[in-house]
Structure 1
Amino acid sequence: MKASSVEPASSTRGWRLRTKLIVSMLLVGIVPLLVGLGMAFWQGSREINEVSGESFKALATEAARKLDILIGDEISRTARIASDPLIIKELERRRDVVQNQSASAATAAEDQRAKWDSADPVTVKTITENPIAGLLHEYYTGARSEPGEIIPQVVRGATKMLFVTDVQGHLAAALTTKPKFDNGGTAWWKGAYNKGVGQLYIEDVYFDNLADTYVFSISMPIMDSLRYEAVGVLRRVIDAKEFFAPSTHPIRFGKTGHVMLIDSRGIVISCPILPTGVSLSDASLVPLVTPRQPGWTDAPSDGHGGRSASIIGFAPLPETSRNTNGSLELGSWHTFVWQSSDELFGPIRHLLTWMTVFALIAMALLATLGYLAATRIVTPVRQLQQAAQSIGRGELRQTIQIKTGDELETLAEEFNRMNRQLEAAFAGLTDQVTLKTQEVQYLRESTDQILDAVPTPILIIGDDESVQYVNRTGREAFDLANSDLKSPRLFEILPLGTSQQQQIRRELLGLTARAPAEPAAGTETESDTTPVLRDPLAPQLNQDAEDHRAELQLGDHLYRYQWFRVSGRPGEADRVGLVLRDTTEESRMQENLIQAEKSGSLGILTAGIGHELNNPLFGILGLGEAIQEEGDLGRAKSYAHDIVQHGRRMASIIRDFTGVATRESSDQRQTVPLERELDLALATLAVGMDISALTIERCYAGDTCVNASPDQLRQALSNILLNAVQAMRGRGLLRLTTVTTGATASVTITDSGPGIPKQHLSKIFDPFFTTKGQGEGSGLGLTVARRIIRKFGGDIRLESVEGQGTSCVISFPVHPRSASSKEVSCTVSDTRVMSQP
């Protein structure tokens, strides 16, 4: 067997298979293990969360019930004070005095308010030591409490203000001098008095400047002896922290667990940690813990400044919330049960630690077992690897001996069979190599024949600008058949100027520097481009007229060239090919075509100027003849004025055709009444021809305005009217109509002439096309009219029925000054229209 040059594989590759087997066994064992442990941890965490959450929910519900009872007892005590007969009788007397002496009572109340605000001793004594105040003091101290009722000292100490107002909200009695005298405009008084109907009103927690603390209040209406209407309001202002602390602060669990009371805004009412009046640190937590029903939630924060996840139980105070601000939805109080995350999730973290330890032990066992199993597999595989290397070198002399009783033993037998077959196959390999060499030689000769048959020069160029191949057409074109050059350079074959040589070198360098996988370069390369002034009448035949064209001038011949890539032989770099195409005759034909286009464009331009100047010129001639015979000086001045107008129109036409009007179009446009310009165009037409036999019918929408140049618009209308009058040969009905529809103004010029044949309608706007006889028209009137109308944003179309007449419909964008809907006025005239000055 012939030896090969295959290098022996590294012996360390056997460890790669062993590593893969170990990793595979680890994955097979660890993935189910980790999934099982993860499921167990997830289930355990969920159950711990649910147990903790339900416990917090129950604790919050029980705390809410106790606080509801506490507030209910305080409401009951306040209601007993408000139903005291002596207080009711005194307030009824005050009400009767106010009703009988309204004016004097108002004055007295204003005087008493001023004295109260100035701490007048007499007034203060009158309010704080009157009979109602005495009764309030007895209730406050418990002297008038019911038998067996014990008023907690904390309730007595939490009451910061206790006072009574009359039906006007004026202070009637108080225990201290803190209350304001006039309370009729406050929210709590309006809520409790309720327009005389009366209702319980509990005010949300707020900071009271008079009490200098956060308080809430219980306002109770005092009804008359018949329980028909309210005769006053009893208000108790209570320190929120002192009132609720004895009920909420003792409820503790664990090291940090506690119960707090908040309102629906997230304001703390009572908490062992947070001060009363502050908001929860996380505003997004408020809607999670203030629903209508008790519950618990996995919160993103703990509401006490911590940002870790937490479990929070909550429950509303239903009875209290029903009276807070008079609305359960907008004002409600809730208990808030919380425990720090470290303490709450401690059992879960402990569970995770033990599960991690168990997983590590399991991974170590799996890795040990995987190593032992992989060793039993890798050893015979390594023997097969060494045998394969020997076969590659042609050195295998002994058969492979593997006795494992499985697929590895079968694979060793296949290796032995393959070795014997290779020895037999190498014997006939030399003959096949000879046949392949002959086949390659045939393909090379066929390729040369194909390239020689191509009628354009083709060059193959190497990296050093050496020409490695030229086809037969190229050898004949560049006279290389008798050349002595063995390996000619590119620019020895192509005698180019310096600038073209630099261009070709840049392109060639760019192609050879590209990756072989890139597509072959086209005919264009990146180069500096400079704007070139071009003849406006010269047509642009293709995009290459302005962009860079890949052309080379070689003597009298002009060549277009294109690059292509040629794949190199194995181990060699790719080469670049160049295809040249002689375009000398093509370029000459193109230049002749451009000159013909220029001549045709100049003819159209000249004919257009002549056509447009004829109409005003005929008007000037007619008016000049009229002036010669006119004896009336006023009429002669009118004719002279019209001659000046025609002259200006001719100047405008010249500016328009020479390009000046295009540059000044933005300055010439103005608001033009469409009906006036239509009449002026008709008057101008009447100067140069006889229209006395025409019947002219006008149906105008009113003052229809468009944005245009008056002279050019009149010129377009004159051309259209001239065609209509000539079609009727001066006799018939000419109808002029203007209509405004939405944002569009339309002009319709209808004649009763013979109409236009159907086969001519599609060509009626083409330059020099006319249906008139020889010498009657140039065929440019409608062409110019359409160009002017479209310049001002309008459009024009013809509708004709042969034998019945023609209608020309012109539409413009209507100017905002025109009304969207106008009355149409119609007039009929059968007399000659005179020229207007």
Structure 2
Amino acid sequence: MDPFQYKQQAAHRRQGLKKKIILSILIVGILPLVIGQIMSFYKGREEILEVNGDNFQALAIETARGLDLTLMEEVAQAERIAAEPEMIRELEARRDALSTLDPEQLIQLSAQAHEAWRHQTPSLVEEITQGPLALILHQYYLRTFQSSGRATAALPRSSTRALFVTDIAGRLVASLNTNVEFLHADQPWWKGAFHSGAGKPYLGAVSFHKDLGTHTIALSIPILDSIRYQAVGILHRVYDVTEFFAPTIESIQFGETGHVMLVDSQGTVIYCPVLETGSRLSLTELPSSMVADQSGWTQTAGDGHDGHTTSIIGFAALQGTNRITTSSTQTSWHTFVWKHPDELFAPIQHLQIWNGIFGLIAISLLIALGAMAAERIVNPIRRLQDAARLIGKGELVEPLNIQTGDEIQELAEEVNRMNQQLVSAMGGLRSEVESKTQEMLDLQESTSKILHNVPTPVILLDSQERVTYLNQAGREALGWNMDTLESLKLFDLLPVKEPIQQKLREELNAQSTGTEEAQNHHMANGHKEKFALKDPLSADLDLESELPKNMLEINDRMFWYDWFFIKARFPEKGAIGLVLRDATEESLVQEQLAYREKISSLGILSSGIGHELNNPLVGVIGLGEAIQEEENLTQAKTLAKEIVQHGQRMANVIRNISGQVRGQAQGQVRDVLVVDEIGKAWELVKESLNPSSITVNTAYQCNSAIRAQPEEIRQIFVNVLTNSVQAMEGKGSLSLSTHCSDELITISIQDSGPGIPKAHVSKIFDPFFTTKRQGEGSGLGLTIARRIISRYHGSIQMTSPEHQGTVCLISFPTQGKVKREEGDHEKMAQS
């Protein structure tokens, strides 16, 4: 780096320290300021919500109380009308007259009267609007009376839009106006007020009256007979909602938007100065506390007036009125007090603006103070920085003179003392460094001589497969006579085949990562290869065996090899070593051991065959001798049947053994659906063993296909299922399930039998090993199953916690994995 660039970077760093100091002061000052403003904002917001909520609640309670008194007064007035003796006597007389009619006469009479009323027959209209009962209605609700006592025909201007009386059949008997229906027995309000003759007050929900062109509510009061036992008629009054509630609710307004509204428990607006009567509140769900018979205030996600901002609503229930509406329409009435959120939270917004102004002023003061403090701190530090740079170059001559009276001054004095000590110590350090350097060179030369004379070939490589060192033993073993190793690659030195080269490359790449697992991979597996007994039923009983994983064949000789990793500081990645050990003689010994192992396996097979065939053969001979002396033909046939059974057992043993040898030629490999073969195998087992008391539970997640011979796959499942059924002795539960991944399909077969003893678990796949009684099994079922599964690159595993049943897990590669492996083999063959 040239001096100009260095000076630019130094100047940038100097400016950076000053910025950091100012920034630190700002952070220290702004953090409490911001926290305080946030706390004051939320605290003020809570106070405003609390104060407004309490006020809204009180206003809602007062309004609800006033409306409740008004409605209860209307109910009381209607009940006074219904209690008029003259009205009761008239309706009782009509009831008695109707009781003499049969239902058909009553229907015919009602229809004639309804038709006359619809055509406004003068006599009927006069009877209903000016009769004795109509006069009672006029006396209560008309403001002027005629001298004769008959009311005028016109209704006064009030909230009442209709007032009439019906008899026990729902027919109109008295009314103040004519624009009402004649028959009402099928109306909900009439049924609710009549209450099957018992009678009860009914206050209906708000609805739009087409004839009146306005929203109305209706109050229905039963007229009981003279002994107060049975309803003899209904008094029905219809109110204009706007004119009834407006005098009470319209007068209650506060601020610019604050008002009261009356709603029911389903969110239907009964009356509101802003919203239309009969509309629904925009609140998606009314809180349960708002529609209960109590008062309070709550914060809502919406404002109920087509807005979605947070708002508060005070609410109160009309206690007296709700006793009637709850029994009438299963709803309750409530007063809601509301103010627009913009007006409600205006004080908070003003507070937030003033807090922001004060915050900007405070930040400006903090920046000014920070700049002043940074200058007093940074200037001495810059002088210390310049002095440290001169000390590094060995050019500091004049001592530092900083008079700040604090830790910076003490630091300057320490720098001066350090400079003096460095000057005195530098002379002795040079000689020490020269001595240590010579010792390192001597150690490197000694190490090279040791490696050169090691009798085992040692090769050092870099991550690019280049050979950086080859000792004398390696040169002799690998036939390398040239002195130079320049541009020498590993596989120019090791003449091995392409698959082995690919394997060594992968191991070299793993070693180049420097991980402990990669470094110790071959040391853990190097010389610990063991020869396990082979399956004597295997079709490939040749005497050839694969080389162990860490053995190479070079120039007709066998070598064990191990990788090791040399850590070094320079270069940072170190080096990778390969050690070879001549194992030609050891390999010959291992081949002899493998040969003896296969001979031992064949011995086990011969012994098992002899044992399995000898027992039934002895039975055949004995039974044959018995037949020779048996005179009873029936007994002779029984003995002959037993001879046949012994012969079939011998045939099964021979078929199981020979079937493995000829297995590859029995059928054609094709796509086999695993679940289908499980089902077919179970049907075969049921036919032969009749497991009528076994419950089968299936959980097939998939039905993938594998490439195999169907008969062999079915034979696997038959053998395993037979073992499970025989272990359960025909009673228990059997669970069959499958699980699939991208590469494997796994079949689980679990029984509830007694399980396999621990001492026998390791022997269950051995030929002719069985825990069954004499004559129940040959001990070849699992051996044959494992051999077939291995042929198709699958696996089988048995787990059996003692006395807890047995689980058999069978896995096969899916078609996708098989096709990928075949493609990889083809690519390798082509290369």
| Common fold: TM-score over 0.5 | yes
8 Å Cα contact 1:266-1:283 kept in structure 2? no
What amino acid does structure 2 have at the position aligned with 1:226? I
SS at match of 2:469: strand
User: For residues 332-347 of structure 1, what are the structure 2 equivalents within 5 Å?
Assistant: 332-347=332-347
1:359 aligns with 2:353: no
What amino acid does structure 2 have at the position aligned with 1:110? I
> Relative contact order (alpha carbons < 8 A, sep ≥ 6): 1 or 2 greater?
1
The verdict on how the C-alpha distance between 1:571 and 1:668 changes in structure 2, with shifts beyond 3 A counting, is closer
Q: Which residue of 1 aligns with 2:316?
A: 315
The verdict on how the C-alpha distance between 1:68 and 1:51 changes in structure 2, with shifts beyond 3 A counting, is same
Give the TM-score of the pair, scaled to structure 1.
Answer: 0.70
Alpha-carbon distance between aligned partners in 2 of 1:588 and 1:399, rounded to the nearest angstrom: 81
8 Å Cα contact 1:511-1:576 kept in structure 2? yes
Q: Which residue of 2 aligns with 1:224?
A: 225
8 Å Cα contact 1:201-1:325 kept in structure 2? no
Post-superposition offset of 1:420 = 0.9
SS at match of 1:549: coil
Alpha-carbon distance between aligned partners in 2 of 1:240 and 1:610, rounded to the nearest angstrom: 107
Alpha-carbon distance between aligned partners in 2 of 1:198 and 1:403, rounded to the nearest angstrom: 104
Post-superposition offset of 1:515 = 8.2
Post-superposition offset of 1:613 = 4.7
Q: Size of the alignment, in residue pairs?
A: 701
Post-superposition offset of 1:782 = 7.3
Alpha-carbon distance between aligned partners in 2 of 1:745 and 1:478, rounded to the nearest angstrom: 62
Post-superposition offset of 1:371 = 1.1
Q: Which residue of 2 aligns with 1:92?
A: 92
2:108 to 104, 111, 125: 111
What amino acid does structure 1 have at the position aligned with 2:164? F
Deviates more, 1:638-647 or 1:130-139: 638-647
8 Å Cα contact 2:467-2:485 kept in structure 1? no
Q: CA RMSD in A?
A: 5.2
Alpha-carbon distance between aligned partners in 1 of 2:604 and 2:213, rounded to the nearest angstrom: 98
Deviates more, 1:61-70 or 1:21-30: 21-30
Alpha-carbon distance between aligned partners in 1 of 2:370 and 2:449, rounded to the nearest angstrom: 66
Post-superposition offset of 1:550 = 4.8
Post-superposition offset of 1:335 = 1.1
What are the ranges of 5 or more consecutive residues in structure 2 without an aligned counterpart? 147-153, 524-533, 667-676, 697-713, 735-750, 786-797, 808-831
8 Å Cα contact 1:179-1:210 kept in structure 2? no
8 Å Cα contact 1:267-1:277 kept in structure 2? yes
Q: Which residue of 1 aligns with 2:185?
A: 183
| Cα deviations by residue, 1:540-599 (Å, 9 ceiling, x for unpaired) | 9xxxx9999354320222334343433455357543222334454555455444444444
Q: Which residue of 1 aligns with 2:684?
A: 668
Post-superposition offset of 1:369 = 1.9
What amino acid does structure 2 have at the position aligned with 1:111? Q
Q: Which residue of 2 aligns with 1:578?
A: 578
The verdict on how the C-alpha distance between 1:89 and 1:449 changes in structure 2, with shifts beyond 3 A counting, is farther
Q: Which residue of 1 aligns with 2:281?
A: 280
Post-superposition offset of 1:19 = 1.9
8 Å Cα contact 2:22-2:370 kept in structure 1? yes
Post-superposition offset of 1:302 = 0.6
The verdict on how the C-alpha distance between 1:623 and 1:217 changes in structure 2, with shifts beyond 3 A counting, is farther
Alpha-carbon distance between aligned partners in 2 of 1:779 and 1:226, rounded to the nearest angstrom: 96
Give the TM-score of the pair, scaled to structure 2.
Answer: 0.71
Q: Which residue of 1 aligns with 2:459?
A: 459
| Cα deviations by residue, 1:102-134 (Å, 9 ceiling, x for unpaired) | xx3422332244446654656964666654345
The verdict on how the C-alpha distance between 1:214 and 1:522 changes in structure 2, with shifts beyond 3 A counting, is farther
The verdict on how the C-alpha distance between 1:34 and 1:666 changes in structure 2, with shifts beyond 3 A counting, is closer
SS at match of 1:670: helix
Q: Which residue of 2 aligns with 1:164?
A: 165
State the percentage of identical aligned residues.
43
Alpha-carbon distance between aligned partners in 2 of 1:505 and 1:741, rounded to the nearest angstrom: 55
Q: Which residue of 2 aligns with 1:53?
A: 53
What amino acid does structure 1 have at the position aligned with 2:106? A
Post-superposition offset of 1:384 = 1.4
| Cα deviations by residue, 1:669-709 (Å, 9 ceiling, x for unpaired) | 1156779xxxxxxxxxxxxxxxxxxxxxxxxxxx9689999
Alpha-carbon distance between aligned partners in 2 of 1:763 and 1:466, rounded to the nearest angstrom: 50
The verdict on how the C-alpha distance between 1:763 and 1:575 changes in structure 2, with shifts beyond 3 A counting, is closer
Q: Which residue of 1 aligns with 2:331?
A: 331
User: For residues 246-261 of structure 1, what are the structure 2 equivalents within 5 Å?
Assistant: 246-261=247-262
Q: Which residue of 2 aligns with 1:132?
A: 133
Alpha-carbon distance between aligned partners in 1 of 2:450 and 2:572, rounded to the nearest angstrom: 24
Q: Which residue of 1 aligns with 2:83?
A: 83
What are the ranges of 5 or more consecutive residues in structure 1 without an aligned counterpart? 146-152, 525-533, 676-702, 721-737, 748-758, 771-777, 798-808, 814-837
8 Å Cα contact 2:536-2:602 kept in structure 1? no
Alpha-carbon distance between aligned partners in 2 of 1:195 and 1:395, rounded to the nearest angstrom: 116
Deviates more, 1:379-388 or 1:134-143: 134-143
Q: Which residue of 2 aligns with 1:823?
A: none
8 Å Cα contact 2:693-2:732 kept in structure 1? no
Post-superposition offset of 1:405 = 2.5
Post-superposition offset of 1:251 = 2.5
Q: Which residue of 2 aligns with 1:298?
A: 299
What amino acid does structure 1 have at the position aligned with 2:24? S
Alpha-carbon distance between aligned partners in 2 of 1:426 and 1:567, rounded to the nearest angstrom: 32
Q: Which residue of 1 aligns with 2:778?
A: 784
What amino acid does structure 2 have at the position aligned with 1:419? N
Alpha-carbon distance between aligned partners in 1 of 2:202 and 2:31, rounded to the nearest angstrom: 63
8 Å Cα contact 1:259-1:337 kept in structure 2? yes
Q: Which residue of 2 aligns with 1:727?
A: none
Q: Which residue of 1 aligns with 2:821?
A: none
The verdict on how the C-alpha distance between 1:712 and 1:538 changes in structure 2, with shifts beyond 3 A counting, is closer
What amino acid does structure 2 have at the position aligned with 1:183? A
Q: Which residue of 2 aligns with 1:409?
A: 409
8 Å Cα contact 1:161-1:179 kept in structure 2? no
What amino acid does structure 2 have at the position aligned with 1:56? F
What amino acid does structure 1 have at the position aligned with 2:57? K
SS at match of 2:205: strand
User: For residues 491-530 of structure 1, what are the structure 2 equivalents within 5 Å?
Assistant: 491-498=491-498, 500-501=500-501, 504=504, 508=508, 520=519, 522=521
The verdict on how the C-alpha distance between 1:635 and 1:779 changes in structure 2, with shifts beyond 3 A counting, is closer
SS at match of 1:222: strand
8 Å Cα contact 1:140-1:156 kept in structure 2? no
Post-superposition offset of 1:628 = 7.5
8 Å Cα contact 1:280-1:286 kept in structure 2? no
What amino acid does structure 1 have at the position aligned with 2:563? W
What amino acid does structure 2 have at the position aligned with 1:411? L
What amino acid does structure 2 have at the position aligned with 1:669? V
Alpha-carbon distance between aligned partners in 2 of 1:745 and 1:372, rounded to the nearest angstrom: 85
Post-superposition offset of 1:356 = 0.8
The verdict on how the C-alpha distance between 1:704 and 1:299 changes in structure 2, with shifts beyond 3 A counting, is closer
What amino acid does structure 1 have at the position aligned with 2:86? L
Q: Which residue of 1 aligns with 2:22?
A: 22
SS at match of 1:553: strand
The verdict on how the C-alpha distance between 1:164 and 1:636 changes in structure 2, with shifts beyond 3 A counting, is farther
The verdict on how the C-alpha distance between 1:206 and 1:465 changes in structure 2, with shifts beyond 3 A counting, is same
Post-superposition offset of 1:519 = 5.7
